[in-house]
Amino acid sequence: MTTLYGYYRSSAAYRVRIALNLKGLDYEQAPVNLVKGEQRLDANLARNPQGLVPSLVTDHGLVLNQSLAICEYLDERHPEPPLLPADAEGRARVRSLAQLVACEIHPLNNLRVLKYLVGELGLDDEAKLSWYRHWIAEGFAALETQLSREAGSGDFCHGDTPSLADICLIPQVYNAERFACDLSHYPTIRRIAANCRALPAFSQAAPEAQPDAR
């Protein structure tokens, strides 16, 4: 059985859950509690020297790390339904949108970064929240511009089927809502998010639906 080592509120694990659901793949979950620091225990470091989640361990014992690499692997091994468009230009666009979230927004708001801001730099809650919202606002403004003006957009980030871009977008929208970011300026993002969330693959991957959600 394929096992996902993750955490219900980890954006990166959330992405992999959506991908597994879209592909219709069976998997079991093994929670790694990030708040308790379990990602730093030897058992997790043996799977993931980065001390992060998620890791996906296949039924052949292959250990995969990094959420986007895992999603691309799943897409190669289980091509239907595809997470990337059939054309190279479309794939470049979807990967670019996914990476706008995964490389420009999410890394700055990771738990370990927030811990450094508070523990090492002494930020109070207000300054931490400003930091959090700043990077979401910067990234979402760019994303809204791209999604609203580019012909490739449809019901979803690219066309009318969900892709790797939506897989990255939805966990980021979840985080934005959790930290009460103002999303009124991003109507296209909100429209696409509503379309995604209407699909069981997305709703069943939501943090609150996971076995380790408190």
Judged by the rule CB under 8 A, the positions of this chain that interact with a copy of itself are 49-52, 62, 64-66, 68-70, 72-73, 76-77, 88-89, 91-93, 95-96, 99-100, 102-104, 106-108, 112-113, 116, 120-121, 123, 127, 130-131, 134, 138-139, 141-142, 145-146
Closer CB to a copy of itself, residue 4 or residue 68?
68
Q: Please measure the distance between the N-terminal and C-terminal CA atoms of the chain and give it in whole angstroms.
A: 25
- Least Cβ distance, residue 24 to a copy of itself (angstroms): 19
For residue 205, the 8-state DSSP code is T
Task: State in angstroms the smallest separation of the CB of 106 from a copy of itself.
Answer: 8
Q: How far is the CB of 78 from a copy of itself (least distance, A)?
A: 11
Residues 6+ apart with CB under 8 A from 81: 22, 23, 161
Q: Which is nearer to a copy of itself, 151 or 214 (CB)?
A: 151
Give the nearer residue to a copy of itself in terms of CB position, either 5 or 211.
5
Residue 139 beta carbon to a copy of itself: minimum distance, rounded to whole angstroms: 8
What is the distance, to the nearest Å, from the Cα of residue 23 to the centroid of all Cα atoms in its chain?
16
Q: Reduced to 3 states, what is the DSSP secondary structure of residue 114?
A: helix
Nearer CB in complex with a copy of itself: 148/204:
148
Q: Would you say 29 and 14 are in contact if contact means Cβ atoms under 8 Å apart?
A: no
Q: Rounded to the nearest 5°, which phi and psi values hold at 205?
A: -95, -5
Buried b (16+ CB within 10 A) or exposed e, 36-62: eebbeeeebeebbeeebbbbbbeeeee
Q: Measured from the CB of residue 178, what is the shortest distance to a copy of itself in angstroms?
A: 20
Between 110 and 203, name the residue whose CB sits nearer to a copy of itself. 110
